[in-house]
A and B are shown apart, each in its own frame.
Chain A
Amino acid sequence: MSAEKKEFGRLKPDDSAATAQVSLPAGDDPVDLSLAEHAAKGDKGAFERLMWRWWDRIRGYCATFVAFDPELAEEAAQESLIRIYKALPRWRKESPLGGYLYGICRTASLDVIRSRARHSARSMSVEDFDSLSLESPHSTGEANVLQEEANQMLAKAMQRLDPEDRSMLYLHEVEGKGLAELGAMYNLPVGTVKSRLFRVRDKLSVMLKEMGYELR
């Protein structure tokens, strides 16, 4: 996917709020709450505006959950939208909207993974990593190519993690979710979330080290 396509996706012309997608706090934004209330009553315009505001978070979460497989990511994101649209009328206002939406994305992505037996995110062998290392374009000397290569290595290492761990790490690192929020979202004690994140990061670090990279 090209960078300009991504930018266009973020900057939907008729939705000025789309520009602030990533920086918005999850769940408790009054605009989100208002849109969710209207969407729950069947207002399709409100639903679309809400989803545009959440689109980067939804697609990022789903893509991470399915180990960055573009086809599965598209299926998971679209399935999430369908389920959110159907489930919003049942949303209770006392529960955080963010947790509710991420919960739907989580089950939708999990179902997509289950329904696609051909997906083998966790079956990559060490030889695959070696072959990826051999394909490294070090000789080009271009910074963006090296960065792209580093991202590919991270993606390959992430594929070996459990989907739940991947998504939890994504929410913590990229979306800035705290331990308590993650605990509520995944129905786990804070201590368990903390140790799980530590283990995941450590595992990732070891895998990347074997591939010659240092995780920061």
Chain B
Amino acid sequence: MSSAEKKKIYLKDALKDAAMSSAPSFPDFADVYRKAEQRPRKVRRIAFSAAITAVAAAASFWIGIAWNSQTSRDIALIDSWTVSAAPVAVSVSTTQGAQNEIVLTAYQTSPVNLFVQDLWESSAGTGL
């Protein structure tokens, strides 16, 4: 081969040589059949897991909705707060219209009185 020739690359032959020398020699049909049969099982497993997850998510969503609607019926609003010497009375009404009065037999600065006062202020708009 002359020095002029040795620097030439014949695309077709070189491409074919490069491809064939790096490509696998034999197909593995046993592996083909094994993997082809495994894949549907894998897909079914993934689909089953996805279905379980979806059912669990839907169930927890509806349980949450039910829970919220259940508790909302019992919302109580402290709609008044009066401070007197002692005893202290708190009037409580619910959304269903029931009126209750809690009488706190404690002094104005006692911890339980302050707690009820905090509760009233924080729940004035949203309920307990």
| Distance of B99 from chain A, by nearest CB (Å) | 69
Whether B23 lies near A77 (C-beta < 8 A) is yes
Chain B CB within 8 A of A158 CB: yes
Q: Is the interface of A mostly helix, strand, loop or mixed?
A: helix
Whether A9 lies near B7 (C-beta < 8 A) is no
Q: A60 with B19: in contact, given A78-B28, A214-B8 (CB under 8 Å)?
A: yes
For B8, the chain A residues whose CB sits under 8 A away are 150, 213-216
Q: How many A-B contacts are there with CB distance less than 8 Å? A: 127
For B18, the chain A residues whose CB sits under 8 A away are 63-64, 68, 151-152, 154-155, 158
Other-chain contact of B22, A73, A146, A173, A214 (Cβ < 8 Å) = A73
Q: Which residues from chain B sit less than 8 Å from chain A, CB to CB? A: 1, 6-12, 14-29, 31-33, 35-36, 39
Whether B32 lies near A82 (C-beta < 8 A) is yes
Whether A208 lies near B9 (C-beta < 8 A) is yes
Other-chain contact of B20, A52, A56, A153 (Cβ < 8 Å) = A56
Q: A78 with B22: in contact, given A146-B1, A212-B7 (CB under 8 Å)?
A: no
Whether A82 lies near B9 (C-beta < 8 A) is no
In the complex, 12 of the A-B residue pairs with CB atoms within 8 angstroms, ordered by the A residue number, are: A5-B25, A8-B25, A62-B23, A64-B18, A68-B19, A78-B31, A82-B36, A155-B18, A174-B19, A204-B11, A212-B7, A216-B11
Most buried by A among B6, B11, B24, B25: B24
Whether B25 lies near A153 (C-beta < 8 A) is no
Q: Which residue of B lies closest to A149 (CB)?
A: B6
For A204, the chain B residues whose CB sits under 8 A away are 11
For A64, the chain B residues whose CB sits under 8 A away are 15, 18-19
| Distance of B1 from chain A, by nearest CB (Å) | 5
| Distance of A104 from chain B, by nearest CB (Å) | 13
Whether A1 lies near B22 (C-beta < 8 A) is yes
Ranked 4 nearest A-B pairs via Cβ: A59-B23, A9-B25, A63-B23, A68-B22
Whether B25 lies near A6 (C-beta < 8 A) is yes
For B12, the chain A residues whose CB sits under 8 A away are 173-174
Chain B CB within 8 A of A74 CB: yes
Q: A146 with B6: in contact, given A60-B20, A74-B24, A78-B32 (CB under 8 Å)?
A: yes
For A81, the chain B residues whose CB sits under 8 A away are 27-29, 32
For B25, the chain A residues whose CB sits under 8 A away are 1, 5-6, 8-9
Whether B27 lies near A86 (C-beta < 8 A) is no
For B23, the chain A residues whose CB sits under 8 A away are 1, 59-60, 62-63, 70, 73-74, 77
Most buried by A among B20, B33, B35: B20
Chain B CB within 8 A of A69 CB: yes
Whether A85 lies near B9 (C-beta < 8 A) is no
Q: Which residue of A lies closest to B17 (CB)?
A: A151
Interface positions, chain A 29-44, Cβ under 8 Å from B, are: 44
Whether A77 lies near B14 (C-beta < 8 A) is no
Whether B9 lies near A77 (C-beta < 8 A) is no
Q: Which residue of A lies closest to B34 (CB)?
A: A82
For A59, the chain B residues whose CB sits under 8 A away are 19-20, 23-24
Most buried by A among B1, B6, B25, B28: B25
